[in-house]
Structure 1
Amino acid sequence: MDSSVLTEIVNNVGFIRLNRPKVLNSLNVEMVKIIYEQLQNWQEDPEVAFVCITGEGKKGLCAGGDMRAFYDLKDKNGKEVAAEFFSIEYQMDLMIHRYSKPVLVYMDGIVMGGGVGLSIGGSHRIVTENTKWAMPEMNIGFFPDVGASYFLNQMPGCTGRYLALTSSIMKAEDVLYTGAADYYISSADWPALISEILSKKWTLLGAKTELNNLIEKYYKPCEMNLSSLSFSQEKIKQHFQFDTMEKILASIDYSITMDNDDHWAKEVKEILLSKSPISLKVTLIQLLEGKEKTLADCFKMEFALSMNFMDNDDFYEGVRSVLVDKDRSPKWRYPSLDKLGMGDILSYFRWDRNEEVFIALDKLDDKTIHKF
């Protein structure tokens, strides 16, 4: 049986290829273990000049973590598996942010959730006309993780907050606008680019500059005015600048009252009201807290959140409605935001510290962060 992750070194380039195309390269425990261990080994290997991460199949890099697996294990050892998965995944993602060598990530097609975690810390992040980027966790009663508490706060205005709460999908122009990618190329040019990469004998010295120059040969200017996020920036800031969900929705309601033809506001309101009230409120506080934290501390906070969400019925209901029955009709625990007290929300940020896990996370700091 083929490995879920394919790794090899060719001409001093370390290749990591996610190899579960039938499930859009969704990450599981086995995969994050392989990737994390390989990244550790290659960081110390003088024969590896840089790392290249891609996804097998034609649909994308990675659709995220295999959340269906946690649903299936709910009444067994699901929380234990989740603890292992998230602790390794977050260490892996943080390592990519602080990697001492260039990390090229080819973000063709679907790049969502855990796929964003793999790509956001890379030094050379390439999008194409096929890119579909999102943090879609709100759709399944979860929260945006993989360092989102940090990197979403670095995006223009309140864009990150909007993306987190609505689970909106970005195209290439939007991804470049937010700073979550560096280069745009045509997917038709990728074989030629990778062929040139394979034809060279790379060395540690000058690898970053040579890689920059090589990608620039295929780089295509991307019109920022085609970014829908850029076009909607004023509205996003107007409504998502507030520190509670009630205020955000009140602002949107006011706009609708003043202009019944404000279709953007109506659509955003409908989207927000379809999400889990728990996820909405927890995520907003998560992002507010993340503004004052380092990236490493954001990962620690997110680990606590991930463990507490494993005890949240909304998570399993969300997974059921999207990934199991696929009826897209979740029955959330709370019917509305006003039924939720602050004490209920803050409980998701508490965790009886699993010292072994947190010590492992503490080993990684915020040095040598490539982006943001």
Structure 2
Amino acid sequence: MASSLPRSVCLLSIGRTSIRQRPIMPLKARISQGALPARGYAVKALESYQENKTSDPDGVLREDDPDDILFTKKFGLRSLELNRPKKLNSLNGSMARKLVLRLKELSKSDLAQVVVIKGAGRAFCAGGDVVALADWNAKGEPVLSDDYFALEYKLDHLLATYNKPLIAYQDGITMGGGVGLSIHAPFRIATENTVFAMPETTIGFFPEVGATFFLPRMDGELGTYLALTSEQLRGVDVFYHGIATHYIHSSTLPTLSERLSELRFKDYATPNERFAIIASTIAEYDSGLPSTRPAITGAIRQAIDHCFSASTPLEILSQLEKTREATADESIKAWADKTIATIRERSPIGVAVTLRALRLGKSWNIAQAFRNELEISRVFMRHGDFTEGVNARLVQRSKTRPNWSPNTLEGVKADDVDAFFAGIDRDTLTFYTSGEGTKYTEYPHAWLGLPTDQEIEVRLLEGKSGSEIVAEFMKQKNGKVGVREKVEEVVERLRPAKG
């Protein structure tokens, strides 16, 4: 990825034009000089939030555009369209509030059978309004950023635990906060226009919106790789790697919506029975896949799983250097060099905190993930790297590396990282839905996507042939497009390692 974030794929809204500049003091220095209490920066930040939070945290963004979310209905279909195309549908508080209110209404409606969330223009949603957040932080008002994140994560949790069939059209740029609005839906449709990324370490932040839940559950170490490098997945690769559950051409989405509006479910149908009907309906619009393999495959994919399984960022860099030295393959050498340079370009504290959060997130349930991300986000809002990164990348559009603090991965100390996790495991976020079903540790609708690497590997270890595994999953997935290609790619990649 280029050293500066491209205009077309930033995190984003860049509607604000400036951020008040203030000298940025390193976190550890602020603690030592008494600006922050030595007993725990994150704990104090939490107490400050609880004492000073607004009386209406869900109304933190005062501006309100009545048309930033468009609502339409036809028969049993209800559509929610993000409508800020000039800002690539970047999510703000006004949009989040409207989505929450409408989703809560629809959850109680007997007439609403299927809910679709989509974006206007060339983006689904390119992220959150991080420039506004950085502006508040620079003005000494990080509590407003805290309130924004609380609202966003409550919305994302509502989507992740929704009681109606929910479909996200990931048609176009789907990054950061836009991933949070789509990744937790049972049905996620990618098209040839889809561009996925979690670019938070580029701006001195960490992947959240439930990323600590979904990234560690991706195949192998792909989630770790995408999080630390901000690498993009495009088109059908978003489907192959499980970010999407289906892939169809964008031109068929309007017709699919018409077809979905005609669906009727029996009153006694179970959620899985309803999901199966929707899956078969989407399958009617399959037009084949543009490639039989993802772009990340073979030796590079093996190198990702090997290098990014390390415990610390410096160990990952060491593994990348060893991989570069051990291979004669020039493409692997070039990939390793690029990846090392990319990680070195990112916020060191952002990279270190991200890796810790992903490792811990493997054991978090969906509710814990959002609650813990909120605590970590609060610390970032009071750390200089976030304001520095947003100002450099999204406001000034600088092509030079931001002035991170600390400025190298070698300079990141364990205490620096620990400070971001001092406030986790607190029950400080009240969701719109509750109960044991809202605290799952694996997506209950994961069966709608392609088989995972792990599921395929189990069959290989049982001694089954590639054709046998293909046949088994084709039957299990009702002939789903992409199953054959996914199984064959995994078998090709893993069988040599199994002897």
TM-score > 0.5 by shorter chain = yes
Distance 2:361 2:355 in 1: 10
Cα distance in 2 for residues equivalent to 1:201 and 1:154: 32
State how 1:194-205 maps to structure 2 within 5 Å: 194-198=257-261, 200=262, 202-203=264-265, 205=267
**How far apart, CA to CA, are the structure 2 residues paired with 1:265 and 1:213?**
41
1:224–1:230: 8 Å Cα contact kept in structure 2? no
Q: Cα 1:354–1:33, aligned 2, differ >3 Å: closer, same or farther?
A: farther
One-letter amino acid of the structure 2 residue matched with residue 291 of structure 1: K
> 1:334, CA displacement in angstroms?
1.7
Rounded Cα–Cα distance in structure 1 between residues aligned with 2:391 and 2:160: 33
Residue 341 (structure 1) aligns with: 413
Partner SS for 2:233: coil
Q: Aligned-pair distance for 1:351?
A: 3.1
How many angstroms does 1:122 deviate by?
Answer: 1.1
Amino acid at match of 2:382: D
Work out the CA distance in 2 between the residues paired with 1:171 and 1:78.
37
Aligned position for 1:80: 143
Code of the residue aligned with 2:185 in structure 1: it is G
Please state whether the residue corresponding to 2:446 is helix, strand or coil: coil
346, 357, 360: which one aligns with 1:275 = 346
Give secondary structure in 2 for the equivalent of 1:121. Answer: coil
Please identify the structure whose Cα radius of gyration is greater: 2
Alignment of 1:356-371 (within 5 A): 357-360=428-431, 363=434, 365-366=438-439, 369-371=444-446
Aligned amino acid, residue 64 of structure 1 = G
Measured against aligned partners, the alpha-carbon deviations of 1:188-246 in whole angstroms (never above 9, x if no partner) come to 22222223334x26456465343222211112333664312234320101210101111
Q: 2:114, 2:260 within 8 Å by CA — same for their partners in 1?
A: no
Distance, in Å, in 1 between the alignment partners of 2:266 and 2:99 is 21
Q: Which residue among 187, 191, 216 is the counterpart of 1:128?
A: 191
**Aligned twin of 1:328:** 399
The 1-side partners of 2:136 and 2:198 are apart by 23
Amino acid at match of 1:9: K
Length-normalised TM-score, structure 2: 0.70
Instruction: Output the amino acid matched with 2:323.
Output: S
Shift of residue 23, structure 1, vs aligned partner: 0.6
Partner AA of 1:284 in structure 2:
L
Aligned to 2:360: 289
Task: State which drifts further: 228-237 or 158-167.
Answer: 228-237
1:9 to 59, 64, 73: 73
Q: How do residues 34-73 of structure 1 correspond to structure 2 at under 5 angstroms? A: 34-57=98-121, 59-73=122-136
Q: Does the 8 A contact of 1:129 with 1:172 survive in 2?
A: yes
- Residues of 2 paired with 1:234 and 1:353: CA distance? 34
Describe the shift of the 1:210–1:271 C-alpha distance in structure 2 as closer, same or farther (beyond 3 A): same
CA RMSD of aligned residues (A): 2.2
- Which residue is equivalent to 1:94? 157
For 1:234, the aligned partner's letter is: Q
Runs of 5+ consecutive residues of structure 2 not aligned to the other structure: 1-64, 448-499
Tell me which amino acid in the other structure corresponds to 2:181.
Answer: L
How many aligned positions are there? 369
1:248 alignment partner in structure 2 = 316
Aligned residue among 350, 357, 369 for 2:422: 350
State which drifts further: 178-187 or 18-27.
Answer: 178-187
Q: CA deviation at 1:360?
A: 4.0
> 1:29 aligns to what?
93
Say if 2:114 and 2:166, in contact at 8 Å, map to a contact too: yes
When residues 203 and 7 of structure 1 are mapped into structure 2, their CA distance, relative to the original with a 3 A threshold, is farther
Q: Which piece of structure 1 moves more, 1-10 or 33-42?
A: 1-10
SS at match of 1:73: helix
Change in CA separation of 1:320 and 1:75 when aligned onto 2, cut-off 3 Å: closer
Verify: 1:152 aligned to 2:252, yes or no. Answer: no
Q: Which moved more, 1:300-309 or 1:87-96?
A: 87-96
Seen in structure 2, the aligned counterparts of structure 1 residues 369 and 210 have a Cα distance that, compared at 3 Å, is: closer
Closer/same/farther in 2, CA of residues 156 and 353 from structure 1, 3 Å limit? closer
CA-CA distance at 1:362 after TM superposition = 8.8
Structure 1: any 5+ residue segments left out of the alignment?
A: none
CA offset digits 1:282-310 (Å, max 9, x no partner): 00000111111112111111001111100
Shift of 1:160: 0.4
Report SS of the residue matched to 2:124.
strand
Shift of 1:259: 4.3
User: Secondary structure of the equivalent of 1:321?
Assistant: helix
Aligned to 2:381: 310
Is the CA contact (8 Å cut-off) linking 2:137 and 2:145 kept in structure 1? no
Report how far residue 353 of structure 1 moved: 9.3
Alignment of 1:137-216 (within 5 A): 137-198=200-261, 200=262, 202-203=264-265, 205=267, 207-216=274-283
Instruction: Name 2:305's counterpart in structure 1.
Output: 237
Instruction: Tell me if structure 2 keeps the 8 A contact 1:111–1:134.
Output: yes
> Under a length normalisation based on structure 1, what TM-score does the superposition of the two structures give?
0.93
Cα 1:96/1:182, change in 2 over 3 Å: same
Q: Cα deviation per residue 1:102-129 (whole Å; 9 max; x = unaligned)?
A: 1011111100011111111112211111
2:295 to 215, 219, 228: 228
